[in-house]
């Protein structure tokens, strides 16, 4: 989309521009080196500036977190949980201002931003409620007499004999890891951070958060408020270039790294962490399929859920539906129903009341999605670009794309095989679900999937056969996420789990103590 003039647009300051510093050891640190954060709906507008750390700042944050860990890890789990809940009280006063800030830097519509800040608080409350789980002690009493295989001489059968097992007693407890680095993407930064941040705190770890460079401001402001109610150094925030903050992964005092983002970057994080055998939790890309069976109920509610599953946050959700496989007998019906809904979409600035879908967060992602759609169109697939872009945003230079359906593309096209992470979704007919399941289970992606059918038994059977970290029935995406359950992926969609008891224990280490009987 063309800029307003033929000249290169100069950055302009938005009203109430925010300038955020690093948070290290309870202090806000301003730096001479800063970077601008732009509004993706109007990229010539600067929403605010964020401090750009140096490697020395990253090391300082590690030192602050290491120092704070000694006392924080010594608190009872319930006391740590209570402190997390007390910290949430600091977020009450300027909620609406931070919602607007998130819209302006991220591009999502205002209702989504409002929900995101609510999810941050909700996940903190869930983590706090799990604190008693850390008091569970697994106890292994002394064993009595048990069989043992006596080694046989050559050519003889092994002989069994009885012996008295050593009378040991062992206990296993979950102990804090230490310093944890959390690296967050731009799409749902606060919600994603809250999948691990409060769990690490309740577990007894101290944390350093690396915000996303294109949408750091709301996170930095929120965590600054949140950390103000916690001991200095328990929560630190360091923004900047990848090279500058590399110590947050490579320093031996960092005992775990939680990363959410692309598979390629996740591999790089693994290589960096391997130097010190640092633990990692990786929530990576997902080319998540929806399987719509011939008996699926495709009423208005179901179609709206499917559209939302695909186009929430302009398609920029890791757990969102990226492709739809529908039984051939329902293909035209489904494509037509989704077309009708998307035709009414209004694409524009996320703060506008009548906006249904905002821009993509950055030009690179917009261009990538546009390229995938152009490839599909050139191959002969039918492409339906739907909805309209608001007049106010025409000529703004914003990263807007209309919601797009790509009908029955070739299966080898990248719109099918790669995660597009944008508002363009292929719809593909199938005849037999069994080979489709085999195909999906053999692909690189294994984050999420969904099954759409009116038969509960068939749904349970098919869901149990899909090798993805989460499978939803007749719904999908964040609106269907049960935050009490663990979340993560199979295969190249990552490993490790966040949320729930599994996510809490993943940020501890099991410690075995063995006593004589």
- Write out the H or E segment, with its range, that includes residue 513: strand 508-516
Tokens of 401: 């794309």
Q: Which residue has the tokens 């230079």?
A: 397
- CB 503, CB 146: distance < 8 Å: no
Name the E strands within 177-309: 179-183, 206-210, 235-237, 254-260, 279-283, 289-292
Phi, psi of 433 (to 5 degrees): -75, -25
Q: How far apart are CA 334 and CA 305, in angstroms?
A: 12
* Of 381, 438, 442, residue with least CA distance to 408: 381
Three-class SS of 398-467: CCCCCCEEEECCCCCCHHHHCCCCCCEEEEEEECCHHHHHHHHHCCCCCCEEEEECCCHHHHHHHHHHCC
3 state DSSP class of 235: strand
Q: In which region does residue 491 sit, left (phi positive, over 0), alpha (psi from -120 to 50) or beta (all else)?
A: left
Tokens of 393: 């945003």
318 has catalytic annotation: yes
Sequence length of the chain is: 517
DSSP string, 204-234: T-EEEEE--TTS-HHHHHHHHHHHTTS-TTS
Name the E strands within 107-245: 138-140, 145-150, 159-164, 168-176, 179-183, 206-210, 235-237
Q: How far apart are CA 267 and CA 494, in angstroms?
A: 9
283 has catalytic annotation: yes
- CB 63, CB 42: distance < 8 Å: no
Q: Looking at 60, 105, 283, 419, which residue is catalytic? A: 283
Tokens of 154: 């050559």
- CB 419, CB 285: distance < 8 Å: yes
Sheet with 254-260, side-by-side order of all strands: 27-29, 22-24, 235-237, 206-210, 179-183, 254-260, 279-283, 494-495
Q: Looking at 52, 124, 218, 318, which residue is catalytic? A: 318
Catalytically active residues, by annotation: 283, 318
């Amino acid at each position: 989309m063309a800029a307003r003039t033929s000249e290169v647009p100069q950055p302009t300051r938005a009203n109430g521009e925010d300038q955020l510093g690093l948070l290290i050891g309870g202090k806000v640190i301003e730096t001479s080196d800063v970077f601008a954060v732009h509004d993706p709906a109007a990229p010539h507008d600067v929403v605010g500036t964020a401090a750009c750390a140096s490697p020395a700042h990253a090391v300082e944050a590690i030192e602050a977190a290491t120092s704070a860990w000694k006392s924080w890890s010594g608190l009872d789990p319930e006391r740590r949980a209570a402190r997390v809940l007390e910290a949430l009280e600091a977020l009450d006063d300027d909620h609406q201002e931070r919602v607007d800030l998130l819209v302006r830097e991220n591009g999502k519509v205002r209702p989504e931003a409002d929900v995101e800040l609510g999810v941050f608080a909700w996940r903190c409350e869930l983590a706090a409620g799990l604190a008693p789980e850390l008091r569970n002690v697994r106890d292994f009493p002394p064993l009595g007499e048990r069989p043992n295989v006596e080694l046989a001489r050559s050519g003889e059968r092994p002989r069994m004999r009885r012996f008295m097992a050593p009378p040991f007693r062992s206990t296993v407890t979950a102990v804090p890891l230490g310093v944890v680095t959390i690296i967050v993407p731009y799409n749902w930064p606060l919600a994603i951070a809250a999948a691990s941040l409060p769990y690490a705190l309740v577990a007894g770890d101290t944390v350093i958060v690396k915000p996303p460079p294109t949408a750091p401001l709301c996170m930095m402001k929120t965590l600054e408020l949140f950390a103000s109610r916690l001991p200095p150094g328990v929560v630190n925030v360091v923004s900047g270039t990848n090279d500058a903050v590399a110590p947050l992964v490579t320093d031996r005092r960092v005992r775990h790294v939680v990363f959410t983002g692309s598979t390629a970057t996740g591999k790089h994080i693994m290589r960096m962490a391997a130097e010190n055998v640092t633990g990692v939790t990786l929530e990576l890309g997902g080319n998540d399929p929806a399987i719509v069976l011939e008996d699926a109920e495709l009423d208005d509610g179901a179609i709206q859920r499917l559209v939302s599953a695909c186009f929430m946050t302009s398609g920029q959700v890791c757990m969102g539906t990226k492709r739809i496989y529908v039984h051939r007998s329902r293909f035209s019906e489904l494509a037509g129903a989704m077309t009708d809904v998307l035709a009414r979409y209004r694409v524009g600035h996320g703060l506008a009341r009548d906006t249904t879908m905002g821009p993509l967060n950055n030009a690179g992602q917009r261009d990538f999605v546009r390229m995938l759609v152009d490839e599909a169109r050139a191959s002969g697939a039918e492409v339906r670009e739907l909805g309209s872009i608001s007049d106010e945003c025409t000529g703004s230079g914003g990263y807007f794309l209309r919601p797009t359906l790509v009908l029955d593309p070739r299966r080898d096209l990248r719109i099918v095989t790669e995660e597009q992470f944008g508002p363009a979704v292929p719809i593909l007919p199938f005849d037999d679900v069994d080979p489709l399941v085999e195909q999906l289970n053999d692909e690189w992606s294994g984050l999420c999937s969904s099954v759409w059918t009116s038969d509960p038994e068939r749904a349970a059977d098919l869901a149990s056969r899909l090798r993805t970290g989460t499978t939803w029935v007749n719904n999908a995406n964040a609106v269907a996420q049960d935050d009490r359950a663990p979340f993560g992926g199979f295969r190249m969609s990552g490993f490790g789990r966040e949320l729930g008891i599994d996510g809490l224990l993943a940020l501890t280490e099991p410690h075995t103590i063995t006593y004589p009987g």
